[in-house]
Structure 1
Amino acid sequence: MDELIVSISSTFSKTSCITDLLLPLELDRIEAQRSTDASHDQQNRTYLPMNIHGSQDFSQSGGDGVTPLTGDTESVPEFLTNLRLSDIFAIRGKDVRMTPLIFSQISYGKKACLDLLRSREIPVARLKSDTGDSILHLAVKWGHIELVKEIVCECPCLLLEPNSSGQTPLHVAAHGGHTAIVEAFVALVTFASAKLGNEESERMNPYVLKDEDGNTALHLAIEGLYLEIARCLVKANWDAPFLGNNKGISSLYMAVEAGEVSLVKAILKTTDDEDLEGTKSNLESKIQGYKYLAHVALQAGSIAGVLDVILDECPTLVNERDQKGRTCLSFAASSGNYQGVCKLLARSTMSVYIRNDDGSYPIHTAAEYSQWTSVRYILDRCPDSKHLLNKHGQNVLHIGVKHGKYVSTLLMQIKDMEHLGVEQDVDGNTPLHLAVMNWNYDSIPSLVNSRKILRLRNKRGLRARDIIELEVKPNYIFEERWTMALFLYICHLRGFESVKSLTKPAEPLDPKNNRDYVNTLLLVAALVATMTFAAGFTLPGGFNSSAPHLGRATLATKPTLSIFLLLDILAMQSSLATIGTLIWAQLGDPVLIRSSLHVALPLLLFALLCMPMAFLFGVVTAVGHVKWLLVIICFISLIFFFWAIFVLGPHVMLQRPYISPKNTGFFLVTFMQYKEIFEFIAIWINILFCGCY
């Protein structure tokens, strides 16, 4: 035993001498276990020969089990000259647990451990780690190419052996990006397939084997972006790229999603070949799982590359539906991929007339997602597409009004589009009906363009005005009341119908919430009264401290100071009047609450507007001699003043029971037209001072 230990120690590196010294003891345990397993198998008349399941007879291969090579051997890799071809489909016996020492030695790539296992006649092919890995899995995982070659030549059956995750050594090599090992496996399979018969050759196909997630080795190679390995596997087997995993995703799908044009070309090039019957392979029939490859190419942004390759090889894929039932053109339109829309229509305009699963057309999808550029391009290429109806009998204008914000307005500006506004869907609704149903106030000015549209009734017998007056909620919903006010103002402005008021009386909200709202207004009014009261005794310039004008304002003769005092007094008195009015609202009478709010809100708005103006004239009184500073202050104050009007004005006006369309309506429409400008200014102020969008 001592001589054996010294012999083993000399073969291993000095860094692992302690571990190597203990290896024979572990091997003795394995050998004892093997003897026990063999005795058990003999008792049950079960033998474990290295035989072959197939029609080919390898009895003439020689007693050593080595298959002699015939013909030119220079083209065959050197490591395959020792391949035990007869063991490829050998039946494995009961697994033998791999000890930690063997695990570590194989992981370090020490071939001496394999030699010792062979000399001790340890069942190498039956060794398994705790995770179900064979010694070939371990050697592949750590990239020990020479050890891999030696193991696979001695135990070729391990090439098809899965671990506990269902992964073969080829899976492990592809996942780890070991190109040399993958190429060695491909060479082995190619060589063995040429020597085996048809049945065994079909079984010798590790490229189509799947792990527990349904992934082939090619899936893992593309997932890790090991393109050289992926191209090698595609060349080795033409069927593997089309196999789907458990999620229905094929390797071709993954290559398209990654935007790898060269790999997609390599995969699709295989479909140009002819099968045994002489008929061209059908790409659509070969793909397993998801077939909407054109959708994936558009999503990945590979418009000029992968999409062209896919459509050149199989143009009919453009009409495949994705998971939501959308055609390729509809998908491009919904995602805002204008270049994709142009590319698809440049090839053929027929896809414009193909329905989605929900009965809509691509132009409807573009309008639904407010993709105006795509809508306009489709109309330019196919003008008659504006007449296409979905299963609800709705045209593109119906869809734009129902879902879009500006599409309907832009559509109505196109020539020969006016007739779309009077078309009715299966429920009798015109685009104007849908606009008021969905409170789409942006579309109303362009849709209310004739008395005929206002008079049309749906199948419930309701006009658009009837719907908006019936559907508006009794409590205050800003969007609804704003839409109603704008609709009625447009009717009045264009003389289509008689309008007395732009609003309806609002009923009080929940008493608890209403009390909180009143208390908030009281607090604001009290703060305004306090500040304006204090400002009246802290005049700009101060007071005279000597006779004959002792205690009088120093700058009393300046007009700006007089304006300051006037605005300050108006703000203070308006806020005090607001407080007095809201006190009545605290009594709990719903009628008093509604009446108090109608009086208090305009007073408080007036007080809030007087405050900044008073401050402006007070500053002008103090620093009016600095001209450049005066200009800047006036400009900033003017912007703020108009912003305050446009923010607070609609909130106050839309709560009043009566608003004349002649006077207040103009203000509301002006606010509607310019609110985007104030929103843009607010966004930039937020970006500049808060650093966020």
Structure 2
Amino acid sequence: MEDGHVNIPIEDEVWERRRARLRALEPVYGPQRQVNFRFRAYPLLRAIKKGRVDEFIDAFENYSNAEGVSLSNIVAIRGPSGNTLLHVAAGIENADIFRALLEVIDDEQLYTKANDRGDTALHIAARAGRFDVAKLLLGGDSAMDVKNDAGNTALHEAVKNGHSNLTDLLLRGGSTSVNKKNEEEKCPLYLAVETGNLEILLRLLEALDENEVLSSNIEGMSPVHGAVKHQRLDMLEKMSEKKKELFDLRGERGSPLHLAARENYVDGVKFLADRFTSSAFTHNKDNYLPIHVACKMGHLETFKELFQHWPDLEELLTLKECQSTLHVAAMYGRASIVKYILGNPELEKLINAKDIRGNTPLHIATVRGQLEILLSLTRDHRVNLKLVNHKNFTALDIVDRQITKIDAPLFQRLTRTILVSAGARKSKDDTSSQRKGFNKEPPNINILERRAEVRMIVAILIAGVTFTAGFSVPGGYNSSPPDAGIATLLNKPVYNVFVICNSIAMYNAIITVVILLWTQINDSDVVFRILRMTRLPLLIALATMSVAFMAGVYVTISKRTWIAIVTLIIGITALFVILIFYITLFVPLGYKCRLVQPFADCIIRVLILNSRRVTVNVNERSDDPLFRKMDPPRRLFPVRRRRLFPVRRRRLLLVRRRLLVPVVRRRGLSPMRRRSRSPMHSRSLSPVRRHHRSHSPVRCHSLSPVRRRSLSPVRRCQSSPPPPFSPSGSSIDSYTSICTF
């Protein structure tokens, strides 16, 4: 560089003329007009993007004459995004305009001038792959390791966009950012792996010094972890040949083998297990070995590969809890891993192994609520159901401590059913202090009442339908004596089936209604027992009503054989579905008979698919990782919110308006009437009138429309009467009545 200019050999006469035209602009105006041209450089920017040097010089001259600006000020102007002319010229394919700009730049700081995103001209050239432009910039005073706002240097941009020639140029130019991370925690080594460019990766590995490959020097994500994540076995092999030290780096998920086990990268697991055997015995931050990670994620193929390398799984335990692979698989509900371990005779010792707290895999599955794992473990005769942990709890003891209500969720009841059906028992220490005083909480009376109301409606509908069908018999009645009033189809056997089933359905429905009348007693235990008593008569009513309908239709169309057969098939299928879905509600699934167990297991598996797991806390210690909260699994049939039809929507709006009528009317009062209903006016009332006003229908808007509809008319009036009057006012302030309209 001489006199502030870059020496560029120009032999062509055309370039001599171009240089002369540009130099002629410099002394014309001088620096006296310094104006902000940030948003007035569009003509020059358009001329640069066209890539024609002569047109650019013409635009340069026209702009200088029109604006009255010197050459040194023109080259320093910036566009809307902060780009100088040098930035724009660095990104186009033709490098001639960039050469022309370098001829007239006196300010060396323009080489490293950044735009609004922190990019220098070298960043843009490296991103666009402009080798000639980058070569010209490196010949000047351009800093190659300057970072932009994203933390990328020119080497980052070249590697990220796959420009191997530019990468080689920057490395030969002395770039020291091979192991420097950007804002995304990625160094050029990781970017080369991420883009899958093996050629660039080899050049970067050659540029590394022997002393640089340390965990403290490689910033950001490890390139080995990147190769595992993107499943690039060829890159893993090259890195193991060039720089084995890279495999000692650990990431957030542990060693490369931990990540390979997590990603189920079987080829990577095999390669790492063969080349770097010691990594299989290192724990990650969760205190897991790679084989535990495979169990946690449920990757059976990865587990098999690791098991082939280290068949002695009894020695491979977690760091703090001392849990085996079966413990981890049972904890996270990985059925494939559990079934493989149970089916392998070499791993029989893991079945009843205990962790540091004395919990077996059966305890773990019970606490975590893994129903499918429980079903697999309890059906294996080698599982000892009587083992206790250090708190002297068997698996059944844990379930009994979880179930604190009579109407426990289906999830908890299934857990106990699976254990009881397998023959699980409680521990002999029934007098421990932890079991003393343990009583189940009564069920929620509101939930039980809603169930009773639904069952009452169903029973009343069945009774009404069957009563009507008893007098509107199929075929009608005879009108001629001596059989006047006798059913015309009386002599047909199918008609007799209709009459018998219809009568059974009606009487069972009436029995159900009569029993449900006892739910008016405000006792949750009584209501719960009544609901259990009405299961069987309601089932009989539903089943016999279906048979009666099928018989009634059949007897009227029996002369059409094919229609009658189709009707029978449909009716029998519907009856079978009704029985199956209703029997599952109260069939003793915990029955230990071997003939019943296969059928019960099928029902349990169906219920498991649609059950919801609950949060369980058996240990009093909140820091126990065994009892961390887990997200409930998705339902097989997700419950969706019903879309309201216009008529139903209008009804809801009408109910809401009625509920808010007192509030609206209160707001609509005139100032005089509002003053008459002010607190001062209330004070003038007698204590008794103030008490009744506080419990007037004005407060009925606090009751939701759904709750009001669920109450019977009598209960809407009598469910919550006002408390007795107290002159002190304590009962008045703490009580809000529920009233009707």
Q: Which residue of 2 aligns with 1:166?
A: 118
1: distance between equivalents of 2:159 and 2:574?
A: 58
C-alpha displacement of 1:484 = 0.8
C-alpha displacement of 1:316 = 5.2
1: distance between equivalents of 2:529 and 2:480?
A: 51
Opposite residue 331 of structure 2, the aligned amino acid is K
| 1:556-595 to 2 correspondences below 5 Å | 556-595=490-529
1: distance between equivalents of 2:423 and 2:517?
A: 39
What do residues 485-539 of structure 1 show as CA deviations (whole Å, max 9, x unaligned)? 22111117x9999xxxxxx997542233332232222233333334444455565
Opposite residue 122 of structure 1, the aligned amino acid is L
1: distance between equivalents of 2:32 and 2:575?
A: 89
Opposite residue 352 of structure 1, the aligned amino acid is A
Structure 1 gap ranges (5+): 1-57, 85-91, 194-202, 498-503, 687-693
Gap change, CA 1:126 and 1:496, over 3 Å in 2: closer
| 1:578-657 to 2 correspondences below 5 Å | 578-618=512-552, 620-621=554-555, 641-653=575-587
| 1:506-585 to 2 correspondences below 5 Å | 508-536=442-470, 555-585=489-519
Q: Does 1:333 align with 2:272?
A: no
Q: Does 1:235 align with 2:184?
A: no
Q: Which residue of 2 aligns with 1:187?
A: 135
Q: Which residue of 2 aligns with 1:419?
A: 349
Q: Does 1:104 align with 2:43?
A: yes
| Secondary structure in 1 matching 2:331 | helix
Q: Decide whether the 8 Å contact of 2:168 with 2:203 is kept in 1.
A: no
Gap change, CA 1:234 and 1:678, over 3 Å in 2: same
Gap change, CA 1:280 and 1:242, over 3 Å in 2: closer
Identify the match of residue 380 of structure 1 among 305, 308, 320. 308
Q: Which residue of 1 aligns with 2:290?
A: 362
Aligned residues: 574
Q: Which residue of 2 aligns with 1:466?
A: 397
Q: Which residue of 2 aligns with 1:210?
A: 147
2: distance between equivalents of 1:515 and 1:94?
A: 88
Gap change, CA 1:403 and 1:332, over 3 Å in 2: same
Gap change, CA 1:318 and 1:625, over 3 Å in 2: farther
Q: Decide whether the 8 Å contact of 2:321 with 2:355 is kept in 1.
A: yes
Q: Which residue of 1 aligns with 2:705?
A: none
1: distance between equivalents of 2:324 and 2:608?
A: 28
Q: Decide whether the 8 Å contact of 1:435 with 1:444 is kept in 2.
A: yes
C-alpha displacement of 1:375 = 2.4
What do residues 573-603 of structure 1 show as CA deviations (whole Å, max 9, x unaligned)? 3333222222211331223212211212333
Q: Decide whether the 8 Å contact of 1:126 with 1:134 is kept in 2.
A: yes
C-alpha displacement of 1:628 = 7.0
| Secondary structure in 2 matching 1:104 | helix
Opposite residue 527 of structure 1, the aligned amino acid is L
Gap change, CA 1:452 and 1:648, over 3 Å in 2: closer
Opposite residue 243 of structure 1, the aligned amino acid is K
Q: Decide whether the 8 Å contact of 2:228 with 2:268 is kept in 1.
A: yes
Q: Does 1:296 align with 2:218?
A: no
Q: Which residue of 2 aligns with 1:689?
A: none
2: distance between equivalents of 1:288 and 1:129?
A: 35
Q: Decide whether the 8 Å contact of 1:402 with 1:438 is kept in 2.
A: yes
2: distance between equivalents of 1:505 and 1:286?
A: 61
Q: Over the residues paired in the alignment, what is the CA RMSD in angstroms?
A: 4.5
2: distance between equivalents of 1:339 and 1:646?
A: 47
Gap change, CA 1:99 and 1:516, over 3 Å in 2: same
1: distance between equivalents of 2:311 and 2:202?
A: 36
Q: Which residue of 2 aligns with 1:29?
A: none
Identity, % of aligned positions:
23
Gap change, CA 1:68 and 1:511, over 3 Å in 2: closer
Q: Does 1:672 align with 2:624?
A: no
Gap change, CA 1:321 and 1:68, over 3 Å in 2: closer
C-alpha displacement of 1:354 = 2.5
2: distance between equivalents of 1:650 and 1:423?
A: 35
Opposite residue 42 of structure 2, the aligned amino acid is F
C-alpha displacement of 1:452 = 8.4
Identify the match of residue 133 of structure 1 among 77, 83, 107. 83
2: distance between equivalents of 1:131 and 1:598?
A: 75
1: distance between equivalents of 2:334 and 2:559?
A: 49
Q: Which residue of 2 aligns with 1:244?
A: 181
2: distance between equivalents of 1:108 and 1:295?
A: 46
Identify the match of residue 402 of structure 1 among 327, 331, 354. 331
Gap change, CA 1:204 and 1:447, over 3 Å in 2: same
1: distance between equivalents of 2:569 and 2:229?
A: 47
2: distance between equivalents of 1:420 and 1:409?
A: 12
Q: Decide whether the 8 Å contact of 1:111 with 1:147 is kept in 2.
A: no
Q: Decide whether the 8 Å contact of 1:283 with 1:314 is kept in 2.
A: no
Opposite residue 394 of structure 1, the aligned amino acid is Q
Q: Decide whether the 8 Å contact of 2:159 with 2:200 is kept in 1.
A: no
Q: Decide whether the 8 Å contact of 1:602 with 1:652 is kept in 2.
A: no
Gap change, CA 1:210 and 1:587, over 3 Å in 2: same
Q: Which residue of 2 aligns with 1:489?
A: 421
2: distance between equivalents of 1:327 and 1:296?
A: 12
2: distance between equivalents of 1:316 and 1:620?
A: 83
Q: Which residue of 1 aligns with 2:649?
A: none
Gap change, CA 1:572 and 1:289, over 3 Å in 2: same
Q: Which residue of 2 aligns with 1:199?
A: none
Opposite residue 295 of structure 2, the aligned amino acid is A
Gap change, CA 1:273 and 1:443, over 3 Å in 2: closer
533-542 or 127-136: bigger deviation: 533-542
Q: Decide whether the 8 Å contact of 1:273 with 1:280 is kept in 2.
A: no
C-alpha displacement of 1:349 = 4.9
2: distance between equivalents of 1:296 and 1:548?
A: 97
What do residues 607-633 of structure 1 show as CA deviations (whole Å, max 9, x unaligned)? 344444445555555666777777776
Opposite residue 366 of structure 1, the aligned amino acid is A
What do residues 324-345 of structure 1 show as CA deviations (whole Å, max 9, x unaligned)? x333333333344445445544
Structure 2 gap ranges (5+): 23-30, 49-55, 429-437, 612-634, 640-741
